[in-house]
Amino acid sequence: MISKKFEIGDDVVAIGATPLEVAKIQIESAIEMLFQGHHPIAIHTVAESGLQIVRELAADKDLPQVQNLEIADISFDSLKTFSGIRQDLNDMTIFWAIQFYEALGGKQTAAMHSFNAGVVMRFPDLAKTEVAGLTPEITAIAKKLTREEFLRYGAASINSARARAEQKQTETLQ
């Protein structure tokens, strides 16, 4: 888990964090919020903030991903007439934030990797390269998952990936 719990008395957090580190925290937090069942608007706000940082960093470096991506912005016509949010927009916002983050040299966390795997299974055309073991049969099953099943799978996948990463780190230290 990238998010650190802070005490109420903590006045200053993220001292010396780079913009890429801040984006990592926001992307990871959006993934956690998604799989913990938080409200889609809150998830979108956090995910979009992380995406905005990495998009600006990528634009400053003239990375080609910036020119190839158009994301529908959520518009608040007024505070009284918010038209709603499609939950799959959150999935794509997080997915593209991870792609930019990685293109900028960030290393994917276990949560990011698991999240990407789930999205690529459902939308194989998004894969940058051929994914080992991703068969048409697996894709067909993944596409039929309900939203709830996708979220349960994602939460279990992230927990499993984190446990494997912790085990590997423990083995390395011994």
Maximum Cα–Cα distance for the chain, whole Å?
58
Global pTM reads 0.76
Look at residue 24 in the predicted model and tell me its pLDDT.
95
- Integer Cα distance of 84 and 87 in angstroms: 10
Per-residue pLDDT tens over the stretch 154-166: 888 888 887 888 8
Per-residue pLDDT tens over the stretch 132-143: 566 777 777 777
With 90 as the cut, is the pLDDT of residue 29 above it? yes
From 20-24, 54-58, 62-66, 75-79, the region with the lowest mean pLDDT: 75-79
With 90 as the cut, is the pLDDT of residue 105 above it? yes
With 50 as the cut, is the pLDDT of residue 104 above it? yes
From 72-81, 88-97, 106-115, 131-140, the region with the lowest mean pLDDT: 72-81
- Cα–Cα distances in angstroms (integers) from residue 3 to residues 28, 60, 103, in the given order: 8, 27, 22
